[in-house]
Structure formats: C-alpha cells, structure tokens
C-alpha cells in the first residue's frame, strides 16, 4: 500500500553519484572481484556471509580512497583539528550506514538481488561493533558521524577491545554473559603496523640536571607495552569527508614470546609477558555509570591516552610550529573523566620531553582540553587510589600533586578566609587511602566543562561543581544538550518514514538540516499522509513482532499498544518501576469481569538491556521481568490484553528495529539522575510518544514538542532531597497499589519470593533511594491516560506527526556545531571538488 517515492526518484545523495559508477556497482564489478580474489570464492559457492564480506570490501575500497584524500586535504590545509577521546565507541553495524552515507545503497540492493541475495539478509551478517556500554559510547559514535558529515577535521581515539560488551543470554530468567567475538570477520579496520608507540608503566622518577642547568625529571625503568594503531574510516553523509577513528591495540614490546624460556620447557611463562601486555586492550569494562578503581582499567586509560597524545603531538610537530600555537591547531575533547590522564600526559611531554617551563606548558594544556561530564551519580565519579597511581604512573602522580599545589595556592589567595574550600576542591581526597578525584583534575585542566542537558548542567553547577563555579566563574561551565544522528536513527532505521518525509519535503535535505522537519507539521491534517504514517508504524511494529517471535517464541498482537523500555538496566533508570506497573496491570486485569476486560487497551510491554555483570540488583530486576513474562504470557485469563517481552542482548542493531516500532517508550529515571538520555530522542524521532519524568533531556523534548505531546509524571528534581530525608526519618508509607504488587510477589506468584526480597525491601525498608513508591501512583495514573489517549488513534497520530516535526533541535549536527563554536573553536573544511 505504500506509495511514497523510492529513494532513487527524489533528490538525495544517491542522485549525486555519477552514472558510470552506479553502473559499475549495478554490474557487481567490485563485489565479484572481492568474492573471487580476496575471498577466493566463486559466485557459485557464495553464501550470505561471503556476500556480506564481498559487499563490505567493495565499500571499504571506496571509503579508503576518500579517507586518503580527506587526510591529505586536512594535512595540506593545516587547519585546527578536533580529537575526540572516548574509551567507548558504540558503533553498531557499518555496512548499511556506509552504503547510505556514500549514496550507493539502491544500486547495491539491485546488484545483490541480481545475484539472488536480499540486501537485508546480507546486512544482518555483520557483527555489531559494540565497544561501549550505552549512551556515552553511542554519543561518541554519533559525534563521529556528524563531524564527518559537517566536514570537521576530526579524529576519534579509542581502544580496540578484543571483546566488546558481552553478549547477553537469558537462561531460566537470569542474565548470562557470553564473550563477544566481534573481530571475527571485521573488514572495517586497517591495521597500521608501522604506527606503534611504546607505552611505559611502573618504574621510578629520577631528577637530573639538563644541559641548561635546569633540574628536570626523568621517568625510568618499568615496563614497556606497545600500542599498535588500527584505523576505521568514518564516512560523512553526502560528503567526501571520510574521517578517522584510531583504535589502539596492546602488544608486548619484547616480541612474540621468550624463546629461551620456551626452549627450556617453561612454556607458560614464555608467553606470560605477551599475554599480560595483550590483556590491556582485551576487554571493555561492562559498567555503565559505575567505577570500580581496578588497576587494569587505569592501565587501559593511560595506555590509550599516552598513545593518542604521542600521535597528536607527533602530527603537530610535523608542522614545525611554535608550541604556543598548539591550542590553535589542536582541540581535545574528553568524553567523561576516563581520558583525564591525557591532561597530565600532555603536561609531562611538554615539560619533561620538550623542555617547556611549567606555566607555559600548563597554559597550552588548559587551552587545549574540554571536558564533558555525563552524570551526577556519585558511584560513577572516577577516583583512583594514590598508592595505585604512585606505583603505576609515578611521574604522573608527581605532576598531579604539583597541579594541585598551584591550584590550591591560587584558591587560598582568592578565598583566604575559607579554609574548608581547600579540602573540598583539592584534587586529592584526604581519605584512606588517599584518592585522586579525576573530575576535579579534568575541570582544572580544561578551559570548558559541559553537561549534556540543561537540568544536568544546572545541577552540576549548583551541586557537584559548585565550588569550582565560585573559583572560575560561571563561564567555564556550559551546557550542550545531547543529540542523535538522523542518518542512522531515522534514515537507516526507518527508511519508509524517511522516504515519506522526503516525498513531502521534496528531498532528503532534512537529513543534513533536521530543523527542516518542521515543514512536516503542515501535513498533520493531510489524510493520505496520515494514513501512510500509520501504515509505516504498523509495518515497523510487524517487523518487531517477527523479531520477537523468532527470538522469544511469543506471538504479540500488532494492534496492541507497544510500550518499550530499552536501555541499560539500572536502579536509577527504574525498570523496577515499570515491571511493578506491569504487575499492577496484570492484577487489575485478573480482577476484571468479562465486560470490563472488553474496555482494556491491549499492551505489549517490551524490555531490553544489559546489567553490569557485578550489579546484582540490576540482575534481579531482569530476573523479575522474565518471571513476570513467564506467568503473564501463559495466563489464558489475560490473553492478548497483556504480554511481557524481554528482548535479550539489546544492542545498536536491535535498537534500529525497536525504536521505529514503539507506540510509547519509557524514560522514567528518578528526577535529577539521568544526564540526558538519548533513546528518548530516538523514539520520538521515529514517531513514538514517550512517558517520562522531568529529567535529563525529557525536559527539552517537552519544550520542543509541547506538553500536550508527552506524558510526564512524578516528583521533580528539586523535591528529591526532601523526599529522601523523609524516608530516612521513617516518615514514609508504601503506596497502597505498590503494596498490592509486593503482596503478589510475596505470595510467590512470580516464582520464589526470596529471589526478589532484596528488591522489595530496598523500597519498603531501606529508604527507597530511587523513590519508586513516591512516584508509583502518578506513574499508574499517567499510564491510564496513555491508554485513553491511544484509543483515539486520530489524535495519537497527530501527536506523533507533530512531535517528529518538532525534533529538529535534537540533531547531532546541532550538537557538533555547538561544541565547535563554543568549546573547540574549529571550522569545517570546505569540500567542494
Ligand atoms: O551518558 C550517560 C550514559 N549512561 O552512558 N552516562 N554516563 N556516564 C548518561 O547516563 C546518559 O544520561 C547520557 O545520555 C549519556 C550520554 O551523554
């Protein structure tokens, strides 16, 4: 029934590709060459995996040619570059994105189809590159897409983990973690064996007098590990700019293994060095918003910062400019505090290696760095024990102490009568053991600090970093509300919606300027448009229903209201509130007469997300969701009125199926706890409505799309402290509806109550830190409003269309331009040839 113009018919990136090139792709020239030569297969024994590899290699060739030209162009113009340092890049799949960005997906589809392949099946062969936990890593990936699209000369720097985030399986309702061998069959990286950096650990610091009579420090001995560069080309959408993501892999510097030990029969220790070195880049720490202070993690951080800084400095030195010009050529953005050691490393390079004076070096350092904070959660704020750092990075600890000394001296001068402020803002926390507060170091070593949504940035200034606002003034602190790339999260994930919009707007320009979406609002009353919009949503729901059937075995009714909460499982994100709400719904349906049941709006409650392997409470929540699903889905009294689904192993490529299929999605964190959230944006951009608290970017989403188009509930951030106090002093009564839910759990309706007692008692007896009980009533009432609203499909549709039309603000391109203007001071590089 879909009548929207296909991508080939309207003005789009594909139309700009010259016909001979399109023809060559249509004739599968590049594809066949790779299948026959690189893969050594013939077209007659080419399965889907080989078809994927052949297609990916053909596209890779194209990317790498543009990548080379981009690097040459950027070197030649010698303009300021951005370096985005992130310990996580949650890229997802590359092929589909590459085909769309270079504008050759339609011909690739035709070519593959001639050979008997469906492009979707070929795309599905790819492993997700899951080098991240959640929002922070995905934000970094969106940055890369946007910086390339906008032609910013930019590099990403990260770690090439051998294992990305674990794969999640659900066994008997429990999360089980399985290693993720994502590097098998990964054609997207280029090993640069010629680009290696020796990274030092441990050892000691010696003072010596240099040739100018100056006392200098030298870091000596210890252990050397080699960093090897792997490059991943990042194509922009509809531009020739193809930027670079450089990932570092660790290797023993002493070669393969110790032959002498090997020959002497000491096999194990012969490979021990090698293994120890390779461990550094072996695994991504699977914690989101939680820091544990493990030595290996600190090693990872330094390894990656030191290799990246070496690379950046080397590139700068080739320009033969004076050191004072470094900040005019280099902007380094710290994605959270994980790369804070880069600040110290640059200072060390400048004073110990390049012989600059302390003040001159520090001036360069602070002008170079910007720091993004993503959370106010105390458990996520990084601190490293001083003894650990002393052992692993002795010279860096000295520098940190010196930075701290100069900083505290300046604070003392400005606030001579405030002795407490010194201990409050000191980089060193006077605990046992002493700790290095990385966020403070990041603030002191950067010229700009930003939060990721308005409320979050305000909270930073009024709570966590209050003293620093007093010291530096408010200008050092700013807000840049997060965004998402519309290329992946609309065009790629929801091609039919993208095509429908393009048809109305006369082209795909909105993918480069998302504010153009506002023109969609003019069609809100257009009958044919509305019908098509509804058809597309239904198709997307059917696609998800097929996925659910294939992965869980459950049938879900596509006419039901699809209610989705997919994100990391965390108490502050409150999946427990959601599942308690589901239980409440279940109990209510069970208590209804046949007549009453007829009025119920059928629901499918869909959950997905990983728990950190050591986060027991989050795992308990997953267990409860799965047990509830087991009971509810098999209950004949309930039938289609309620289904509960847990989608295992939620990742980027699953998000691309899930986001376009929601009717409503849940963003229900305790007010004041979510930095921004970005899945809220993805769902709204795909025409789903949201239920949420006044938290993170929900607030700006409300401002943009209008209060009438969002379901807000719950206590406000400003009330949270007071409510927690009340709990603390016993001034608390469990919400009666929640009590009914807990009674059912305690009656073993959802399996052994003992499995869930910690969860229920955290609310009933231990202070309900996340205010589940306080928000329960308004949560339930708001869901009733959702049901009611869903019954009026015409109005629902109008809300959906209006909301999408008003989402222009949340483009990652707006975000990137704001960083470029207010933090990096970097210009795009014109690419007109
Ligand atoms: O970063 C987060 C995410 N969990 O990774 N934080 N961290 N750390 C925040 O919690 C999100 O609210 C935010 O959207 C995301 C990206 O800034």
The interface predicted TM-score (ipTM) is: 0.97
The pLDDT score that the predictor gives to residue 626 is 98
Residue range(s) in the chain whose domain bears CATH number 3.40.50.2000: 78-93+128-482+818-824, 559-805
More confident of the two residues 402 and 23:
402
**Average confidence score pLDDT of the chain:** 95
The pLDDT score that the predictor gives to residue 202 is 97
Is residue 678 part of the annotated active site? The answer reads: yes
**Ligand 1 pocket mutation, candidates 452, 610, 655, criterion most atoms within 8 A of CB:** 452
Angstrom distance (rounded) from CA 801 to CA 793: 12
Q: Which backbone phi and psi does 782 adopt, to 5 degrees? A: -70, -35
What are the C-alpha distances in Å from 653 to residues 63, 490, 646? 21, 13, 16
pLDDT at residue 3 is higher than 80: no
> Angle of helix 358-368 relative to helix 394-414, nearest 10 degrees?
90
Contact in structure between 52 and 126 (CB atoms under 8 Å): yes
- pLDDT category at 721 given cuts 50, 70, 90 is very high
Cα-Cα-Cα-Cα dihedral sign, residues 287, 291, 296, 302: positive
Mean pLDDT, range 441-460, rounded to an integer: 98
From the CA of 644, how far away is ligand 1's center (Å)? 26
**Ligand 1 pocket mutation, candidates 130, 133, 134, 137, criterion most atoms within 8 A of CB:** 134
Contact in structure between 681 and 142 (CB atoms under 8 Å): no
The pLDDT score that the predictor gives to residue 194 is 95
Find the catalytic residue in 643, 682, 783, 806: 682
Specify the ligand 1 atom closest to the Cα of 669. 12
What pLDDT, in 10s, does the model give residues 241-254? 999 999 999 999 86
Angstrom distance (rounded) from CA 564 to CA 9: 34
Mean pLDDT, range 333-354, rounded to an integer: 98
Q: Which residue has the tokens 């409300």?
A: 702
What pLDDT, in 10s, does the model give residues 96-120? 999 999 889 998 998 899 889 999 9
- pLDDT category at 741 given cuts 50, 70, 90 is very high
pLDDT at residue 4 is higher than 60: no
What are the C-alpha distances in Å from 227 to residues 10, 84, 230, 250, 486? 47, 18, 10, 5, 34
The pLDDT score that the predictor gives to residue 27 is 65
From the CA of 135, how far away is ligand 1's center (Å)? 5
78-93+128-482+818-824: which CATH topology?
Rossmann fold (3.40.50)
Angstrom distance (rounded) from CA 709 to CA 514: 19
Angstrom distance (rounded) from CA 360 to CA 356: 7
> Angle of helix 757-764 relative to helix 616-633, nearest 10 degrees?
110
What are the C-alpha distances in Å from 505 to residues 11, 44, 520, 813, 826? 10, 44, 7, 19, 31
Specify the ligand 1 atom closest to the Cα of 372. 17
For the chain, percent of residues with pLDDT exceeding 90: 88
Mean pLDDT, range 702-731, rounded to an integer: 96
The pLDDT score that the predictor gives to residue 815 is 98
The pLDDT score that the predictor gives to residue 7 is 46
- pLDDT category at 798 given cuts 50, 70, 90 is very high
Residue 421: CA atoms inside 13 Å, Cβ hemisphere, count?
Answer: 19
pLDDT at residue 655 is higher than 60: yes
The pLDDT score that the predictor gives to residue 5 is 39
What pLDDT, in 10s, does the model give residues 412-433? 999 999 989 999 999 999 999 9
Angstrom distance (rounded) from CA 95 to CA 92: 10
Q: Is 436 left (phi over 0), alpha (psi -120 to 50) or beta?
A: beta
Mean pLDDT, range 220-237, rounded to an integer: 97
Angstrom distance (rounded) from CA 376 to CA 460: 7
Mean pLDDT, range 197-213, rounded to an integer: 92
Q: Return the CATH architecture of domain 559-805.
A: 3-Layer(aba) Sandwich (3.40)
Which of 606, 622, 747, 738 lies closest to 679, judged by CA? Answer: 606
What pLDDT, in 10s, does the model give residues 308-335? 999 999 999 999 999 999 999 999 999 9
From the CA of 374, how far away is ligand 1's center (Å)? 5
Find the catalytic residue in 22, 28, 160, 573: 573
Is residue 610 part of the annotated active site? The answer reads: no
Is residue 568 part of the annotated active site? The answer reads: yes
Give 597: exposed, middle or buried? Use CB within 10 Å, 0-12, 13-18, 19+: middle
Is residue 567 part of the annotated active site? The answer reads: yes
Find the catalytic residue in 241, 375, 678, 760: 678
The pLDDT score that the predictor gives to residue 12 is 66
Residues with a CB atom less than 6 Å from ligand 1? 134-136, 139, 288-289, 336, 374-375, 380, 452, 482, 674-678, 696
Nearest CA to ligand 1 atom 4: 135
Is residue 733 part of the annotated active site? The answer reads: no
Find the catalytic residue in 28, 73, 374, 383: 374
Q: What angle do CA 599, 579, 625 make, to 5 degrees?
A: 115
- pLDDT category at 184 given cuts 50, 70, 90 is confident
- pLDDT category at 29 given cuts 50, 70, 90 is confident
Angstrom distance (rounded) from CA 64 to CA 56: 12
Residue 634 C-alpha from the chain's centroid: 36
Find the catalytic residue in 81, 568, 584, 654: 568
**Ligand 1 pocket mutation, candidates 141, 575, 676, 698, criterion most atoms within 8 A of CB:** 676
pLDDT at residue 348 is higher than 50: yes
pLDDT at residue 11 is higher than 60: no
pLDDT at residue 2 is higher than 70: no
Record the tokens describing residue 54, joined without a space. 């052949």
The pLDDT score that the predictor gives to residue 1 is 30
């Amino acid at each position: 029934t879909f009548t929207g113009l296909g991508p080939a018919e309207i003005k789009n990136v594909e139309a700009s590709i010259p016909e001979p090139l399109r023809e060559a792709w249509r004739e599968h020239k590049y594809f066949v060459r790779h299948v026959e030569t690189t893969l050594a297969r013939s077209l007659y024994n080419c399965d889907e995996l080989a078809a994927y590899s052949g297609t990916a290699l053909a596209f890779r060739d194209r990317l790498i040619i543009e990548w080379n030209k981009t690097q040459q162009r950027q070197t030649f113009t010698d303009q300021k570059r951005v370096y985005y340092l992130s310990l996580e890049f949650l890229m997802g799949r590359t092929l589909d994105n590459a085909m769309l960005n270079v504008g050759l997906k339609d011909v690739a589809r035709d070519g593959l189809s001639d050979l008997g392949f469906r492009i979707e099946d070929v795309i599905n062969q790819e492993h997700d590159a899951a080098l991240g936990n959640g929002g922070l890593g995905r934000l970094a990936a969106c940055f890369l897409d946007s910086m390339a699209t906008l032609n910013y000369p930019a590099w990403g720097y990260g770690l090439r983990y051998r294992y990305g985030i674990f794969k999640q399986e659900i066994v008997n309702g429990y999360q089980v973690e399985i290693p993720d061998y994502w590097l098998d069959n990964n054609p997207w990286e280029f090993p640069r064996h010629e680009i290696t950096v020796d990274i030092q650990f441990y050892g000691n610091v010696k003072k010596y007098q240099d040739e100018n009579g100056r006392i200098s420090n030298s870091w000596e001995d210890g252990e050397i590990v080699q960093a090897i560069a792997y490059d991943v080309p990042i194509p922009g959408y509809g531009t020739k700019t193809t930027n670079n993501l450089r990932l570092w892999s660790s290797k023993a510097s002493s070669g393969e293994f110790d032959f002498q030990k090997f020959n002497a029969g000491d096999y194990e220790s012969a490979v021990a060095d090698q293994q120890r070195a390779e461990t550094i880049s072996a695994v991504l720490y699977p914690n989101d918003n939680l820091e544990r202070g493990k030595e290996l993690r600190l090693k990872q951080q330094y390894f990656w910062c030191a290799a990246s800084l070496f690379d950046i400095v080397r590139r700068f030195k080739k320009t033969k400019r004076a050191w004072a010009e470094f900040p005019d050529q280099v902007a380094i953005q710290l994605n959270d505090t994980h790369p804070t050691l880069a600040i110290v490393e640059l200072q060390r390079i400048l004073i110990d290696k390049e012989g600059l004076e302390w003040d001159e070096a520090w001036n360069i350092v602070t002008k170079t760095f910007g720091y993004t904070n993503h959370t106010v959660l105390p458990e996520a704020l990084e601190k490293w024990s001083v003894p650990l750092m002393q052992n692993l990075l002795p010279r860096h600890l000295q520098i940190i102490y010196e930075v701290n000394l100069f900083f505290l001296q300046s604070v003392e001068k400005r606030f001579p009568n405030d002795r407490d402020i010194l201990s409050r803002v000191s980089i060193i926390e006077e605990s046992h053991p002493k700790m290095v507060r990385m966020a403070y170091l990041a603030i002191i070593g950067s010229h700009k600090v930003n939060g990721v949504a308005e409320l979050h940035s305000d909270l930073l200034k009024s709570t966590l970093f209050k003293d620093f606002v007093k010291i530096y003034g408010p200008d050092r602190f700013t807000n840049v509300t997060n965004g998402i790339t519309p290329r992946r999260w609309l065009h790629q994930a929801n091609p039919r919606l993208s095509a429908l919009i393009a048809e109305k707007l006369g082209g795909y320009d909105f993918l480069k300027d998302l504010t153009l979406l506002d023109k969609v609002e003019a069609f809100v009353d257009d009958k044919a448009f509305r019908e098509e919009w509804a058809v597309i949503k239904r198709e997307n729901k059917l696609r998800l229903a097929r996925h659910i059937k294939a992965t869980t075995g459950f049938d879900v009714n596509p006419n039901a209201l699809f209610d989705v909460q997919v994100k990391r499982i965390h108490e502050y994100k409150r999946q427990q509130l959601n599942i308690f709400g589901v239980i409440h719904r279940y109990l209510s349906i069970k208590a209804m007469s046949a007549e009453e049941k007829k009025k119920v709006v059928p629901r499918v409650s869909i959950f997905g997300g990983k728990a950190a392997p050591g986060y027991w409470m989050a795992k308990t929540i997953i267990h409860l969701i799965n047990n509830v699903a087991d009971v509810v889905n098999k209950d004949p009294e309930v039938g289609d009125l309620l289904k509960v689904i847990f989608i295992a192993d939620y990742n980027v490529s699953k998000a691309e199926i899930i986001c376009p299929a929601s009717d409503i999605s849940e963003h229900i964190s305790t007010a004041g706890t979510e930095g921004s959230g970005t899945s809220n944006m993805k769902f709204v951009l795909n025409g789903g409505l949201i239920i949420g608290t006044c938290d993170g970017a929900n607030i700006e989403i409300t401002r943009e799309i209008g209060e009438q188009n969002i379901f807000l509930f719950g206590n406000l951030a400003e009330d949270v402290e007071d409510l927690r106090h009340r709990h603390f002093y016993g001034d608390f009564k469990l919400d009666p509806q929640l009590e009914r839910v807990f009674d059912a759990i305690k009656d073993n309706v959802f399996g052994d109550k003992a499995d869930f007692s910690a969860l229920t008692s955290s609310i009933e007896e231990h202070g309900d830190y996340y205010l589940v009980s306080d928000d329960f009533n308004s949560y339930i009432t708001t869901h009733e409003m959702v049901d009611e609203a869903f019954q009026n499909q015409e109005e629902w549709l109008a809300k959906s269309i209006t909301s999408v039309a008003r989402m222009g603000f949340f483009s990652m391109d707006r975000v990137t331009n704001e960083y470029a203007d207010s933090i990096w001071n970097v210009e795009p590089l014109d690419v007109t040839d």
